[in-house]
Amino acid sequence: MAAWSGDARESEGDRQEREHFWRVVNAFRYYRAYALERVRRAERELRALPPAHRRLLRDAALPGHLQCVRARVEHNQELLHDIILGTAEHMFENKRYRPLALEAEPTPATAFDMDKLKSTLKQLVRDWSSEGQGERDSCYRPILNAIQTYLGAASGHSGSSIKSNGNSCCDGHSSNGSNNSDGCHQNHRHQQQQENEQQQLNEQQQLNEQQQLNEQQQLNEQQQQNEQQQQHNHKQQQQQRSPRVLVPGSGLGRLAWEIARLGYSCQGNEFSLFMLFTSHYILNRCHEVDSVRLYPWVLQFSNTRRAWDRVRPVLVPDVDPSALPPGADFSMSAGDFLEVYSLDMDVWDCVATCFFLDTAHNVIAYIELIWKVLKPGGVWINMGPLLYHFENMVGESSLELSYDQIRQVIVQVGFVFEEENECVHATYTENERSMLRYIYDCVFFVVRKPALKSECS
Ligand SMILES: C[S@@+](CC[C@H](N)C(=O)[O-])C[C@H]1O[C@@H](n2cnc3c(N)ncnc32)[C@H](O)[C@@H]1O
């Protein structure tokens, strides 16, 4: 029986998960309060200035600018509400949460959660805006190229997926006009007979039309069934033949989506609810290009060259996320990579990691699991820096290996290097108008889990 998450029967793990879920929902709702407090601080600073300084700023129209910031904050809050309202309760196939009640005021969220929320907005720029194209080219393009090089063309490539819409025949009803009486005069004696005949003709015509309608309906149903069957077969064939790619730490899902768009069978995996809520919103509820407006830089007060840069909008998505080729096999799994895939063995043809390795408490555990889940002969493609996420977190374990140490582990585990580039310039959620810009010198590599001897011969 389906139970609401929150029942007395739930386990300790489920309770923690439920509390975490509501904590993240609360953070999405707390944005306005958090952001407006920041704006009020700027307003207070302005008011506290000596009159002479305020006079100097007269032409800068600062109060008006801060009003504009407020309006942008309100807009972002509406978007964040939209994301959780239509998404959060229905998102998981195997979990149900109570419908969101938005009447109660959100409670103050932690600075950590608010940082995550702000990064989620910036992540939308990286993954789903035209502005993020350059960044995606630097991070995702080398991975996509390597997938095509090492896995070969995918069987489900969009070029081969032509959808039959079945409209090439039966485009009209056959005419019954030939049965019409042409209205020539009959003598009176024959009138009754003529009327009878006419009635019979009409009835026959009605019967014919009904029969034609039925046949047409049957034809349509048959056609629909055929199409469904074709799609099902196509998907099955694709699952059987298309190389399977796993993308752990998939963020807002664009890389995984691009891989599926190329025709590979692809699963993204992500454990952050901030990311999962937002990717679900983009992937399932946004069908029109540039239909969603957000202001990702509105709380970035430092390193702004022009005041307008701070309040400028960004539009998403730059593509229709539902426009994958018919039969494409694309999915997202929610949960910790180390747990979700712990039982997989020799399952995936490729694991693609992008800015992911450094999210580990212990990167060796990631490497071991990647080895295990890959089929013999499969490849691991990696791109990213080593900005260890847990390095400065109190109470969290963190093993900060250098790249040469990681490389040794990779080789020790049994991987063979196919390709390696230790200096690939890439950015991450970059504000292209900011006066501060980080460029990572990422390491890119492709390593192979060797095929079994029997498979080689
Ligand atoms: C730096 S982001 C990179 C996201 C994406 N690959 C990209 O390039 O935009 C790392 C992502 O990995 C996710 N992540 C971290 N540890 C994870 C784990 N153990 N299992 C699944 N996802 C994880 C984080 O939530 C975050 O979204």
Peptide bond into 321 cis (omega under 30): no
When pLDDT is cut at 50, 70 and 90, the band that residue 2 belongs to is: very low
Digit-coded pLDDT (tens) for 150-170: 999 886 543 222 222 233 223
**Phi, psi angle pair for 376, to nearest 5°:** -55, 135
Q: Encoding tokens for residue 187?
A: 């003598």
Which segments of 48-132 does DSSP mark as H helices, in order? Answer: 51-56, 62-87, 111-128
Phi-psi label, residue 335: left if phi above 0, alpha if psi -120 to 50, beta otherwise: left
When pLDDT is cut at 50, 70 and 90, the band that residue 8 belongs to is: low
431: exposed, middle or buried (C-beta count within 10 Å: 0-12, 13-18, 19+)? buried
What pLDDT is stored for residue 148 in this prediction? 97
Name the average pLDDT for the chain. 86
Rounded distance, CA 138 to CA 425, Å?
7
SS3 state at 354? strand
Pocket test for ligand 1, best of 118, 129, 271 (most atoms within 8 A of CB): 271
Peptide bond into 106 cis (omega under 30): no
282-298: average pLDDT: 97
What pLDDT is stored for residue 160 in this prediction? 28
Distance 447 CA to ligand 1 centre (A): 20
Digit-coded pLDDT (tens) for 325-383: 988 999 999 999 999 999 999 999 999 999 999 999 999 999 999 999 999 999 999 99
Which segments of 129-188 does DSSP mark as H helices, in order? Answer: 133-151
Say what percent of the chain tops pLDDT 70.
82
Distance 250 CA to ligand 1 centre (A): 6
What pLDDT is stored for residue 170 in this prediction? 31
Distance 254 CA to ligand 1 centre (A): 12
SS3 state at 425? strand
Rounded distance, CA 178 to CA 159, Å?
46
* Nearest ligand 1 atom, CA 274: 25
Digit-coded pLDDT (tens) for 45-92: 999 999 999 988 887 788 889 999 999 999 999 999 999 987 766 676
Nearest C-alpha neighbor of 152 from the set 378, 346, 345: 378
Rounded distance, CA 120 to CA 101, Å?
23
Distance 356 CA to ligand 1 centre (A): 5
Pocket test for ligand 1, best of 124, 129, 272 (most atoms within 8 A of CB): 272
Say what percent of the chain tops pLDDT 90.
68
Q: Which residues line ligand 1 (CB under 6 A)?
A: 126, 139, 248-251, 269-272, 275, 336-338, 354-356, 359
When pLDDT is cut at 50, 70 and 90, the band that residue 13 belongs to is: confident
When pLDDT is cut at 50, 70 and 90, the band that residue 212 belongs to is: confident
Pocket test for ligand 1, best of 359, 369, 440 (most atoms within 8 A of CB): 359
Digit-coded pLDDT (tens) for 218-257: 888 888 887 766 665 555 555 567 999 999 999 999 999 9
More confident residue, 457 or 179: 457
Rounded distance, CA 296 to CA 288, Å?
20
385-408: average pLDDT: 96
Q: What is the pTM of this model?
A: 0.81
455 pLDDT above the threshold of 70: no
Look at ligand 1, atom 27, and give the residue with the nearest C-alpha.
251
What pLDDT is stored for residue 158 in this prediction? 38
What pLDDT is stored for residue 155 in this prediction? 66
What pLDDT is stored for residue 407 in this prediction? 98
Q: With contact defined as beta carbons under 8 Å apart, do 399 and 364 qualify?
A: yes
